[in-house]
Structure 1
Amino acid sequence: MTHLVPSSADAPIGVFDSGVGGLSVLRHIHAQLPHEHLLYFADAAYSPYGEKTDQWLVQRSVTIAEFLLAQGVKALVVACNTATGAAIKELRKHYPELPIVGVEPGLKPGGAATRSGKVGVMATEAALTSEKFLALRDQLSQANGTQFVLQGCPGLADAVNRGELETPETVALLRGFIEPVLAQGADTLVLGCTHYPFVRSAIEGIVGDRDVKLIETGDAVARQLSRLLEGAGLLRPGGTPAHLRGYTSGNAAELQHWFASLLGLHPQVESVAV
């Protein structure tokens, strides 16, 4: 069943990801649009998404969208690179009236930032092989000659979901991903998964004093969301406090912990069978 899209500016914005990575996007939305009500769904029971098929990702994304629409959301943010690559076209087809924003690895800002002409892209294997991603890479390569060095990062999103942000194991994992990319001459690293900004400190430690620019896209997602809401007349005016609520297909206490430790926020969180 497809729910009608509410047109009230007071309705909340729905944000979802496979786990805690989307909180790196939520923090930018929360900062840029402080008057907006926000609902966050972490699909922890089915994480990680990077190992799932496109067909599964489409079905799961539609299921989560239906749940969030049942909560009355006025817009949807797919705060997951893997789900965006696989499912955003189908989501927009299902809900043509709903403002929908996805996240993509920051190839454009990466291409604009590089001096060597080589940009490293760290992402899940599923994101790096998606049709949408490869089309954008080819388009930008042909337009300005930028070389994109693609680096799959199996296990990294899982480590973030477990809270292992700067453990020796995570640092070793990151070093194995980053050093070969830098050795190929990349002077820019795109953090192409919403989980990866949470290990930014560990990445900076590995990069050291080498002049390497790190690109993440949460800020751009929040700006695009703001533009779409404004264009639809759906920006919520200030005056009354905005609320934030969390849902998870996994453990509610775990998501509450990540809201507090990663963002310093303390919303009510509910575990739901979706």
Structure 2
Amino acid sequence: MSPPGYTVGVYDSGVGGLSVLRALLVAIPEAHFVYVADQAYAPYGERGAAAVTERAHRITAGLRRDYPLDALVVACNTATAQAIDHLRQTHHDLPIVGVEPALKPAAALTATGHIGVLATRGTVESARFHQLQQRLQKGDGSGPHFHSQACDGLAQAIERDDTALIQTLCERYVHAVQATVPSPQQIDTWVLGCTHYLFAADILRPLCGGQAHLIETGTPVARRTREVLLALRPSPAHAHASLTLLSTADPTMLARLAHRWLGVPEQAQLWQA
């Protein structure tokens, strides 16, 4: 009998975390992933910190009740910013990996020193986000300049797969950031500070400038998760990858978009934490 593989929970407010899941499936093919889309309460980006934290605790407890988790990936920038410290205090025996806007990689990559950041309001206004920016600033003012924009409604439009609204909102928010500098070309690097936004990259890329860098967090999160799992125990030699998709609302959209974006069977289940 093959040794048991890893079991990894992956949690987001909706379908955006599928961008992280895609990277995880490549990096850790021997794992069983349980993906939860908390669509009954999406989007998180415009909810208060207390509500986001309560949902994070409920989802984590529910996953641990139903599955033998080896690790949890909080594949949501807003939930990471507002709730991950609380989760780690409560579930101190469970490795928890979060996602944060990729400000540090952007700072290392930019040639102009001007970086656009597209994120949810919950992320942009969080203390964790401001602390991350401050750590990258230099005392003489020569550090990178972050031009941050709260993109109200964009994650929800991606949840609904509303192409026309996604286009409209992307144009609005990219132009708002570009208006903060004398020339749009000054912003040569863009941080996609919500896991949903990678799925709008084809729309965002020409708006941001064809040569601009778009940075997301899926690959480094997957790399970190693999390191965490290997620290627990060696990788099973013959374990097979598997995936369970769960939604706290009608799972039809989750199943359809997971099939489109990840190429997995169009199957998802209704689940209650």
Matches within 5 A, 1:228-247: 228-233=228-233, 235-247=234-246
Q: Is the 8 A contact 1:9 1:74 kept in 2?
A: no
- 1:267 Cα shift? 6.2
- 1:56 Cα shift? 1.2
Match of 1:190 in 2: 191
Matches within 5 A, 1:144-159: 145-159=143-157
Match of 1:249 in 2: 248
SS at match of 1:220: helix
- 1:273 Cα shift? 2.4
Q: Which moved more, 1:137-146 or 1:95-104?
A: 137-146
Residues 10-69 of structure 1, C-alpha deviations (whole Å, 9 max, x = no match) = 341000100000000000000111111100000000000011111111111010001111
Q: Which moved more, 1:236-245 or 1:213-222?
A: 236-245
SS at match of 2:137: helix
Structure 1 residue 35 and structure 2 residue 30: aligned? yes
Matches within 5 A, 1:1-274: 10-70=5-65, 71-142=67-138, 145-164=143-162, 167-183=163-179, 184=181, 185-209=186-210, 211-233=211-233, 235-266=234-265, 268-274=267-273
Residues 210-255 of structure 1, C-alpha deviations (whole Å, 9 max, x = no match) = x31111010000011011111222x541313221101110112221
1:78 aligned partner, one-letter code: V
Q: Is the 8 A contact 1:20 1:42 kept in 2?
A: yes
Partners of 1:169 and 1:42 lie apart in 2 by 21
Provide the alpha-carbon RMSD of the alignment: 1.6
Q: Is the 8 A contact 2:84 2:98 kept in 1?
A: yes
SS at match of 1:72: coil
Partners of 2:15 and 2:190 lie apart in 1 by 21
SS at match of 2:198: helix
- 1:9 Cα shift? 6.0
Q: Which sections of structure 2, spanning at least 5 residues, go unmatched? A: none
- 1:182 Cα shift? 2.9
TM score, norm. by length of structure 1: 0.91
Q: Is the 8 A contact 2:117 2:192 kept in 1?
A: yes
Q: Which sections of structure 1, spanning at least 5 residues, go unmatched? A: 1-7
Residues 177-231 of structure 1, C-alpha deviations (whole Å, 9 max, x = no match) = 112323423211000000000000001132344x311110100000110111112
Residues 114-161 of structure 1, C-alpha deviations (whole Å, 9 max, x = no match) = 111111110001101111110010110136611111111001000110
Counting aligned pairs with the same residue, the percent is 39
Q: Is the 8 A contact 1:80 1:193 kept in 2?
A: yes
Partners of 2:25 and 2:242 lie apart in 1 by 10
Partners of 1:145 and 1:9 lie apart in 2 by 47
